[in-house]
Chain A
Amino acid sequence: MLIVTAAILPLVVYGVVSVRQLQSGTERSVTEGNKQVATQAAEQIRQYIENNQRVLRSLSVELRDPELQNWQRSRILRDYVLDFPEFREIAMLDRGGAVVATSRFSTSKAAVPPALNVTGDSYVSRVRMDDDFLPTATLGVSTTTAQGGRTWLVGEIALEELWRMVDRIRVGEHGFASLQAANGMLVAHGDPDKKRQIAVATKSAAPDAPPDPQYSMDDPDLLYVQAPVTGLNWTVGVEQPKSEAFRLNYELRRQLLYVIGAALLGTLVVGYLWARTFITRIFALKRATLAIGEGRFDERVALTGDDELKQLGDSFNSMADSIVQLQEDVRKQERQAMFGRIAAGLVHDLSHPIQNIGNSCKLIQKMYDDLEYRATFKRTVEREMIVVKRVLDDLRNIARPIPLERFPIEVDRTLGEVVESMQQHAETAGLMLRGEFAASGAFIEGDLFALGRVYRNLIVNAIQATAPGGLVAVATELAGQRVQIRIYDTGCGIPPDRLGKIFEDFVTTKRRGLGLGLAISKKIVEQLGGTIAVASEVGKGTTFVLEFPKTKDGAGPPIGRAETVASAAGAR
């Protein structure tokens, strides 16, 4: 993201700055251009008026002849009106302002404005309204007669001709010019649909009265520039819709935005694609690593490319292959160790009974006639066969649920009996075996024989792990609806690295044996709905904690029946 941002941000900033500069530059340029047009148009109109004044001056030269009759003057004036349609009428006035001759067939209304500066030799009147409520103005030039008298030639501007002139001033397709007089009256407008504003503006005013200048240029969608008509106090305006005036600007801006957008998009796409290949491979490595961590050692990565990531991927695959190999080796070793231990355990557990049975078989051949020895032989074989069977049962039970029966068993009483039966064993080992029973009257559901085996196994292990002079205790207590049984010793303790595996199959701290005792004990406890846990400290001792759910106090079969179950379990 950083890289992408670093690549794109300058481009965006450049694009924004470019667009803004382009926009303002183009707008200035267009506005200046239109202003040039307005200035030229103003000059055209000034020349239009000036040309008309020249026409009047040349006419005045023709009329200077004092021998001319009035009818001749009229004819000349009419000829000029015919030849110069810029004039509606031309009249000749004497110094008193009376009409001497006119191009009109009827009475002329021409007059010299009263407020004229008498020293001037030409004028352009203020724009006023004619009888039809349209704007008009008169031009006048003074002429001196041969007798030194002053006369005026007054020409009334033909508005329609002025309009035609203004109509020809165009900017683009929708740009028009307008002409406003000094008093604000709109005189001409090139837009055909805005000419009506000329008529509207003059409607309410009386003839010869200055109308309210109602035309104002405040349309925000129009670019309006103006220029003065020199010497006349008129204003030429040029207005053009901004959509047209700045069309090039808008077009360029649009194109620039497209280019920048395309560049940005391209950058993003390329960046995304490149990042995707890079990150995808990293994610693949991460997934594979996690899989290895979860134990799925068959996970491999297939990274494409020819870079360091590819090398990393290859290295990862090699490492995974090595781990698998190592794991296989370890498993093989463990299997071998376990098989070795099992074999050793079997040899240990079975050699003695088989040896005894073998010795007894040898002896029975010799002492077959000895009835007492035959009874001893029978007991010995039966006893040793029980041991063999137990070992074989243990092996078989570790792989399948142990068949258990459930009867209510009084905890304290059962444990008391077990402790009592193992006192001799403890004395022989030089230890104290003590019972601490605080769950009086509490019953649990269980298999008497199986539980007895569990208790004896734990007590035997404690006795074997405790040095002479130590203590092995069996304690019970009630913990809510559960009965807790603790078997603890002050023996050597179990190292922490073995503590977690102590309930696993074929794990033993002894030099010999199958290592199934605790595994079967745990299985029995859990099948009866209980839990077994161990805590130990090397050099201080070990505590096994069993918990069973309490069954209904006092409920359960009579004692005789429990003993029958125990006998049956023992026979099994």
Chain B
Amino acid sequence: MLRDSGVAFDQNGHPSPRIFDTWEWLEHGHALQLHLTQNIFFHDGTPLTAELAADIVRDYLQDPTQLHVSSVESVTATDASHVRIRTLRQEGLLLAELSMIDFERPGAPSVGTGPFKVTSDASTLEAFDKYYLGAPTLKRVRFTDYPSQRAAWVALMRGDIDMLHEVSPDALEFIQAESRVTPAIFLRPYTNTIVFNLKHPILSRREVRVALNEAVDRKAIVDVSMRGLGRPASDPIWPLHWAYSTSVRDIPYDPAHAMALLDDAGLPAGRRRDPALMPSRFSFKCLVLDNELSFNRIALRVQRQLYEIGVDMEVVPLKPRQLGQALVSGEFDAILMEFATARSLNMVYALWHSPQPGIVGTVPNGYRGADVALDRFRAATEDAEIKASVEGLQRVFRDDPPAIFIAWPQRARALSKAFVFPEEGSADILGSIRLWRSSPGSTRSVQ
């Protein structure tokens, strides 16, 4: 809302104009020429020039703390309307990385180019009249935090707020029945994933991880624990991406085969290792967000399903900061959380490649199984190359899964019918917030 990105990606992974409205690959894929959209201003009225745009792109792509992988040689403004990025090698993810860049005025982080700008009240944004795609219809947006999804839902029921950022699966059916509220459901490019730390002596074994994957009934989890709001996942590749291959089979739910795999791996059932622990083939701790009902339910069901094949998954609830620290430090056996994928798939590379110098964001779980496929995917700039590399990735994640990719969650947002939003298929309605307007007879701003 505050900032625009260099480009955007639609539900199917196709790039669409934002700060840059056209682009082309040059120099055999070693340069990306970008055309700057005209009449873009920062919130303080400063026009966005090609030089400024080049600076912002350069700062991001050369910042070691930012999530990017491309090896950038230079970023220059070739004229008043063009920016050229040169890379050391073919970098097929470069365009996707532009979608990660939030264009804000250098030295003024809160001065962006988006449809809304900050005000003196930190929780309130107001419309930016000089937004290059047209001034927003809404004049003001105020944000309120609640301790839980449920508490926020109650606030929506009371009418304290106009929009619920995320509707819990339990509340969705009630919101759908309400006449004052419009729910908007869309598939998110995140996976509910139990990522394994391959430093664990047993989880490092491919066959164990395959067995655990086959022991999980993803459909039951989606249907019951997620109340049908999602679709099963077998890998972290965005299933709506244009290059996604449906010829690669999904991971089957086959507890019998899972048990056989574990038996063959020398992990028999019923071992009593510790009187304080349940008898199991092996046990591991799975960290999960405390007090989040949806993750708790998923964890509970996975725990039972794994228990049925004789694996003890002990669930350890942690606060968000603790969870984040554990992930970054690698101090975990498994973590259940949402992992971003991005419709452009660049996050797949960043998260699942083994650590590389200068590249941040990698899940420090010691996984290397997808490196080759990921590098191939990184270098692909032509459609055929991309499609082949994506299919290759899918197969790798099936054959050597670093995690249990459980499901792609559907998220529901709920908006008071005092406002109307444009119908844009299955996309997130927040993407079109600048086009929202009050219903006839209503003069409210969104809270």
Question: Do residues A105 and B317 form an inter-chain contact, with CB atoms below 8 A?
Answer: yes
Identify the stretch in B128-136, B154-162, B189-197, B248-256 within 8 Å (CB) of chain A at 4 or more residues. B154-162
Tell yes or no: B426 within 8 A of A by CB.
Answer: no
B303: A residues at CB distance < 8 A: 78
Question: Do residues B291 and A106 form an inter-chain contact, with CB atoms below 8 A?
Answer: yes
Q: How far is the CB of A163 from chain B (nearest CB, A)?
A: 7
Q: How many chain B residues have a CB neighbour from A under 8 Å?
A: 35
- Chain A to chain B contacts (Cβ below 8 Å), 15 pairs: A75-B307, A78-B304, A81-B300, A82-B300, A82-B301, A105-B288, A105-B290, A105-B315, A105-B316, A131-B151, A160-B171, A193-B178, A195-B157, A200-B159, A203-B158
Tell yes or no: A114 within 8 A of B by CB.
Answer: no
B301: A residues at CB distance < 8 A: 82
**Interface members, chain A 191-240 (any B CB < 8 Å):** 192-193, 195-196, 198-200, 203
Question: Do residues A200 and B158 form an inter-chain contact, with CB atoms below 8 A?
Answer: yes
Question: Do residues A160 and B170 form an inter-chain contact, with CB atoms below 8 A?
Answer: yes
**Interface members, chain B 281-308 (any A CB < 8 Å):** 288, 290-291, 296, 299-301, 303-304, 307
Q: Of the candidates B147, B179, B277, which one forms a contact with A193 in the assembled complex, judged by CB atoms under 8 Å apart?
A: B179
**Interface members, chain A 139-198 (any B CB < 8 Å):** 160, 163-164, 167, 192-193, 195-196, 198
Q: How far is the CB of A78 from chain B (nearest CB, A)?
A: 5
Asked if A69 meets B276 with Cβ closer than 8 Å, knowing A192-B179, A195-B178, A196-B159, the reply is: yes
B180: A residues at CB distance < 8 A: 193, 196
A196: B residues at CB distance < 8 A: 157-159, 178, 180
Question: Do residues A192 and B315 form an inter-chain contact, with CB atoms below 8 A?
Answer: no
Tell yes or no: A382 within 8 A of B by CB.
Answer: no
Q: When chains A and B are docked, how far (Å) is the Cα of A192 from the Cα of B278?
A: 45
Q: When chains A and B are docked, how far (Å) is the Cα of A79 from the Cα of B303?
A: 10
Q: How far is the CB of A435 from chain B (nearest CB, A)?
A: 112
| A residues apposed to B, CB below 8 Å | 69, 71-72, 75, 78-79, 81-82, 103-106, 131-134, 160, 163-164, 167, 192-193, 195-196, 198-200, 203
Question: Do residues B174 and A133 form an inter-chain contact, with CB atoms below 8 A?
Answer: no
Q: When chains A and B are docked, how far (Å) is the Cα of A79 from the Cα of B307?
A: 11
Q: Of the candidates B151, B154, B177, which one forms a contact with A192 in the assembled complex, judged by CB atoms under 8 Å apart?
A: B177
Since A71-B278, A203-B158 are in contact, a sample of 10 more A-B pairs with Cβ atoms closer than 8 Å, ordered by chain A residue number, is A72-B278, A75-B307, A79-B304, A82-B301, A105-B290, A132-B147, A195-B157, A198-B157, A199-B157, A200-B159
Question: Do residues A199 and B154 form an inter-chain contact, with CB atoms below 8 A?
Answer: yes
Question: Do residues A192 and B157 form an inter-chain contact, with CB atoms below 8 A?
Answer: no
Tell yes or no: B150 within 8 A of A by CB.
Answer: yes
A200: B residues at CB distance < 8 A: 157-159
Q: When chains A and B are docked, how far (Å) is the Cα of A385 from the Cα of B170?
A: 143
Question: Do residues B150 and A105 form an inter-chain contact, with CB atoms below 8 A?
Answer: no
Q: How far is the CB of A371 from chain B (nearest CB, A)?
A: 138
B422: A residues at CB distance < 8 A: none
Question: Do residues B291 and A75 form an inter-chain contact, with CB atoms below 8 A?
Answer: no
Question: Do residues B178 and A192 form an inter-chain contact, with CB atoms below 8 A?
Answer: yes
Closest chain B residue to A71, Cβ basis: B278
A198: B residues at CB distance < 8 A: 157
Q: How far is the CB of A6 from chain B (nearest CB, A)?
A: 56
A134: B residues at CB distance < 8 A: 150, 154
Closest chain B residue to A72, Cβ basis: B278
A78: B residues at CB distance < 8 A: 300, 303-304
Q: When chains A and B are docked, how far (Å) is the Cα of A245 from the Cα of B150?
A: 35
Q: When chains A and B are docked, how far (Å) is the Cα of A167 from the Cα of B151?
A: 21
Q: How far is the CB of A202 from chain B (nearest CB, A)?
A: 8
Q: When chains A and B are docked, how far (Å) is the Cα of A132 from the Cα of B173?
A: 18
Question: Do residues B148 and A199 form an inter-chain contact, with CB atoms below 8 A?
Answer: no
Q: When chains A and B are docked, how far (Å) is the Cα of A104 from the Cα of B275?
A: 22
Closest chain A residue to B291, Cβ basis: A106
Lowest 5 A-B CB distances belong to which pairs?
A192-B177, A199-B157, A105-B317, A196-B157, A132-B150
Q: When chains A and B are docked, how far (Å) is the Cα of A203 from the Cα of B159?
A: 11
B interface, by DSSP: helix, strand, loop or mixed?
A: helix
A203: B residues at CB distance < 8 A: 158
Q: Of the candidates B174, B277, B278, B307, which one forms a contact with A195 in the assembled complex, judged by CB atoms under 8 Å apart?
A: B174
Q: How far is the CB of B161 from chain A (nearest CB, A)?
A: 12
Q: How far is the CB of B307 from chain A (nearest CB, A)?
A: 7
A163: B residues at CB distance < 8 A: 174
Q: How far is the CB of B272 from chain A (nearest CB, A)?
A: 11
A192: B residues at CB distance < 8 A: 174, 177-179
Q: Of the candidates B155, B159, B174, B179, which one forms a contact with A160 in the assembled complex, judged by CB atoms under 8 Å apart?
A: B174
Closest chain B residue to A79, Cβ basis: B304
B155: A residues at CB distance < 8 A: 199
Closest chain A residue to B168, Cβ basis: A160
Closest chain A residue to B303, Cβ basis: A78
Q: When chains A and B are docked, how far (Å) is the Cα of A82 from the Cα of B317?
A: 17
Question: Do residues B299 and A105 form an inter-chain contact, with CB atoms below 8 A?
Answer: yes
Closest chain A residue to B171, Cβ basis: A160
Q: When chains A and B are docked, how far (Å) is the Cα of A563 from the Cα of B290?
A: 154
Q: When chains A and B are docked, how far (Å) is the Cα of A104 from the Cα of B290?
A: 10
Q: When chains A and B are docked, how far (Å) is the Cα of A193 from the Cα of B148?
A: 22
Question: Do residues A106 and B177 form an inter-chain contact, with CB atoms below 8 A?
Answer: no
Q: How far is the CB of B88 from chain A (nearest CB, A)?
A: 47
Question: Do residues B300 and A71 form an inter-chain contact, with CB atoms below 8 A?
Answer: no
Q: How far is the CB of B296 from chain A (nearest CB, A)?
A: 6
B179: A residues at CB distance < 8 A: 192-193
Closest chain B residue to A134, Cβ basis: B154
Q: When chains A and B are docked, how far (Å) is the Cα of A82 from the Cα of B171?
A: 18
B150: A residues at CB distance < 8 A: 132, 134
Q: Of the candidates B154, B170, B304, which one forms a contact with A133 in the assembled complex, judged by CB atoms under 8 Å apart?
A: B154
Question: Do residues B151 and A133 form an inter-chain contact, with CB atoms below 8 A?
Answer: yes
Asked if A82 meets B304 with Cβ closer than 8 Å, knowing A71-B276, A196-B157, the reply is: yes
A104: B residues at CB distance < 8 A: 296
B278: A residues at CB distance < 8 A: 71-72, 75
Q: How far is the CB of B367 from chain A (nearest CB, A)?
A: 26
Q: When chains A and B are docked, how far (Å) is the Cα of A164 from the Cα of B169?
A: 13
Q: How far is the CB of A552 from chain B (nearest CB, A)?
A: 97
Closest chain A residue to B275, Cβ basis: A69
Q: When chains A and B are docked, how far (Å) is the Cα of A549 from the Cα of B282?
A: 153
Asked if A105 meets B157 with Cβ closer than 8 Å, knowing A72-B278, A78-B304, A192-B178, the reply is: no
Q: How far is the CB of A104 from chain B (nearest CB, A)?
A: 8
Q: How far is the CB of B130 from chain A (nearest CB, A)?
A: 39
A132: B residues at CB distance < 8 A: 147-148, 150-151, 153-154
Asked if A105 meets B296 with Cβ closer than 8 Å, knowing A82-B301, A82-B304, the reply is: yes
Asked if A106 meets B290 with Cβ closer than 8 Å, knowing A134-B150, A200-B158, the reply is: yes
Interface core residue of B170, B179, B275, B316 (most chain A CB under 10 Å): B170
Closest chain B residue to A193, Cβ basis: B179
B277: A residues at CB distance < 8 A: 71
Closest chain B residue to A85, Cβ basis: B224
Q: When chains A and B are docked, how far (Å) is the Cα of A193 from the Cα of B177?
A: 8
Q: When chains A and B are docked, how far (Å) is the Cα of A212 from the Cα of B179?
A: 26
A79: B residues at CB distance < 8 A: 304
Q: When chains A and B are docked, how far (Å) is the Cα of A193 from the Cα of B173?
A: 13
Q: When chains A and B are docked, how far (Å) is the Cα of A134 from the Cα of B157?
A: 11
Q: When chains A and B are docked, how far (Å) is the Cα of A131 from the Cα of B276?
A: 33
Closest chain A residue to B318, Cβ basis: A106
Q: When chains A and B are docked, how far (Å) is the Cα of A390 from the Cα of B92?
A: 152
Q: When chains A and B are docked, how far (Å) is the Cα of A260 from the Cα of B65?
A: 88
B296: A residues at CB distance < 8 A: 104-105
Q: How far is the CB of B298 from chain A (nearest CB, A)?
A: 11
Closest chain B residue to A203, Cβ basis: B158
Closest chain A residue to B295, Cβ basis: A105
Q: When chains A and B are docked, how far (Å) is the Cα of A127 from the Cα of B32?
A: 64
Closest chain A residue to B151, Cβ basis: A132
- Mask of B164-191 contacts with A, CB within 8 angstroms, 1/0: 0000001101100111100000000000
Q: When chains A and B are docked, how far (Å) is the Cα of A165 from the Cα of B158?
A: 22
B153: A residues at CB distance < 8 A: 132
Closest chain B residue to A164, Cβ basis: B173
B159: A residues at CB distance < 8 A: 196, 200
Q: When chains A and B are docked, how far (Å) is the Cα of A104 from the Cα of B297?
A: 10
Q: How far is the CB of A539 from chain B (nearest CB, A)?
A: 108
B154: A residues at CB distance < 8 A: 132-134, 199
Q: How far is the CB of B164 from chain A (nearest CB, A)?
A: 13
